[in-house]
Amino acid sequence: MNKKIGEIQKELEQATGIERARLCEEYASDLRTGVQKLLLKYRRQEERLRLERERLDGMRLYERKYADCTWICGIDEAGRGPLAGPVVAGAVILPKDCEILYLNDSKKLSPKRREMLYEEIMEKAIASGIGMASPERIDEINILQATYEAMREAVGKLGIVPDILLNDAVKIPQVSIRQVPIIKGDEKSVSIAAASILAKVTRDHLMIAYDEQYPEYGFASHKGYGSAFHMEAIRRYGPSPIHRKSFLTKM
């Protein structure tokens, strides 16, 4: 006697990996439309999962290249371009066997996905650190030097001295640890992608908090970038205490 379709659905929902594949094979001969739709649904899920794992494997190129290093640290920043708020850097050391599905350059992810990945990264990371430079510091030493300063702070907060740093595009001065600058590194390294998410989510949270202090500027929506609304608010109200004065000289 055939099982009820609801029972088969429950079995498939609870099974994973090899067990789910075995169940799909077992029920392939059940020609009921409802069963065939279920099998198609889960086959498609497994195919999407296979492709995602294949994509992630391609993002481990540098982690494999430097696999002889015990502690591989990814470094990235968020907030070099905005007119307001700090620049924030993230540093992350992931376990070598770590799998975080949908990990990617933070700019390619929705806010909801970034938040979910942030929690998973913080849960799974061996070590993480956040550094930042204030708008005043950016004005004082320029955005590039402030970014380097934030990156050094992030590395210093790891609690572990990395064997190697995988950096998104830059080489950080005044750091004795071996460094590998990687162009578009947040698309090519899981470690850098994880760091980009920590930096981006941390900065976004700060800008949302600033929005409560200075609601007229709309920081929660544009995070300090030069949107039309933001530019008009600056013209109307003048710069706030968190604006980068050196970025507003042309205004």
CA 168 to chain centre: 13
Three-state DSSP string of 157-210: CCCCCCCEEEEECCCCCCCCCEEEEECCHHHHCHHHHHHHHHHHHHHHHHHHHH
Same domain, 25 and 50: yes
What is the domain count for the chain? 2
- Give pTM, 2 decimals: 0.87
Task: Give the pLDDT confidence score for residue 60 in this predicted structure.
Answer: 95
Low-confidence ranges of the chain (pLDDT < 50): none
Dihedral over Cα of 45, 47, 53, 55: its sign? negative
> In 3D, which of 24, 30, 29 has the Cα closest to residue 44?
24
Same domain, 39 and 112: no
Same domain, 41 and 73: no
CA angle 33, 34, 36 (to 5 degrees): 65
CATH number at residue 146: 3.30.420.10
Give the separation between CA 169 and CA 75, rounded to whole angstroms: 10
Task: Give the pLDDT confidence score for residue 159 in this predicted structure.
Answer: 95
In this structure, is residue 251 part of a structural domain?
no
Residues 6+ apart with CB under 8 A from 218: 211, 227, 229, 230, 233
Task: Give the pLDDT confidence score for residue 1 in this predicted structure.
Answer: 52
Same domain, 30 and 124: no
> In 3D, which of 89, 44, 65, 82 has the Cα closest to residue 178?
65
Same domain, 125 and 170: yes
CB 92 within 8 A of CB 125: yes
Q: Token match 């099974």: residue?
A: 15
Task: Give the pLDDT confidence score for residue 25 in this predicted structure.
Answer: 81
Same domain, 45 and 123: no
Q: Token match 């030069």: residue?
A: 226
Give the separation between CA 182 and CA 180, rounded to whole angstroms: 6
In this structure, is residue 73 part of a structural domain?
yes
Give the separation between CA 22 and CA 16, rounded to whole angstroms: 10
Residue 132's domain spans which residues? 69-246
Same domain, 90 and 160: yes
Task: Give the pLDDT confidence score for residue 27 in this predicted structure.
Answer: 82
Same domain, 121 and 220: yes
